[in-house]
Structure 1
């Protein structure tokens, strides 16, 4: 990470003393800007949620590179570690584990909500265009003064000094939002909670009254030259233990007997070590 940050800082110097963009920074911007725009359009038009999440990841990584090029390595590292590496990966794992229904409901629950959304969207777009076209910016002077004591120290001075109250308020809001999400997603238990002691008592009762196995089930067959889930284990007397094979395999008829496995092993041994005529094999 340190090597990448130093390389980007050397290739793309943020701003010169005259306030002009360097050639390396301009080239870096014109390479990353189309990628970010395409990834953002993929977020809007991707049909699968996983593809949309990967588009957001591409935008965030490109934004981190631009932060580093602007002499803000701390923000670039935070952008990758926190937002891309933690938050977006969490979203992606949730989508992969839970899944998203591809079918969309076309029935409006609120009358006129679609036209209202379109109207507000057009209004917001017009407002953003007017602000961007009329905004004026002062001549850039670089971040030499702000980063005099290094970029992390400058960011810490702003967060825990000038804007400490706003930082604490945002922290309270995030904690409140997390607690609210837990409360809203909590569901009442449909059945009575069963504790560990009651579970143990039930297992003992089933063993005494119904003859069920009290101990964990034995593992499948593990022999000298065979280790398979579909072969039953053997008890001390040599008899197969049918309960050692998964019930699903037994229902599907995929369970193999010990004699079948022994026959396969004997055939493999014979093929590997053929017996010459006139010689006997000592068992």
Structure 2
């Protein structure tokens, strides 16, 4: 005689509430364009699956689902996204208006979960996994995995090891040139600086995933909105008056928005400023030279006038 698992009313309501949410999360995994939304959708599916495990009297699987998959794999996925960085347009666009219905559905699901818990605690529990969980649920799971299903378990372990080795082989890249260490990197930067004379060849660029264009200590950081963060510069530099790029950063407020919009960015380096100031200096010098050149010209005319005036006197003297 086989035992049949019977669900209570609260468990049935919980299933029909969580099942559509899991389906929506799975569809979001396939059709969402932003990686952060995909990660959140997968996490939602895993949490809902863990709740179903716990409702089916399998607390060990539910806790393992949350700890291993949601707590480890998904957090690793999010860390990779934060390390690599996302498109700046995603950070600058506010999309809360389109996510309100998701918050409403999530709130309704939470209410349904609380109702299911209260219903299960109030009414009598039907026949479930009491026989299988006689020696606690982890012991029953271990007996099934390492006893009745040990061969499928070993095949699954071999499959996971093969997948990990395959990922390592596919991601491996042969080095085409000699290995370059820190010494070689510094020597190459100094050689490039000696050839071009540009300081950008020596100064290290900021890491990926940030909006800054330099990692200089005297350059204030930029927020996602393009505003400068004064707290990012130490007080010592401000007291000493060594915040050389503070005015430049303030003038370039909104640079992140320009980057997000795809507009061409102006070069704000020291060399670009010198080149921009050079025509003005030349124009000033030309005007000054013109001003100074006018005086010698006038003096020349005056000398000529004087010479012209004196020559007749000399001629008159000679005539006399």
Q: TM-score, normalised by structure 2?
A: 0.44
Higher relative contact order (CA 8 A, sep 6+): 2
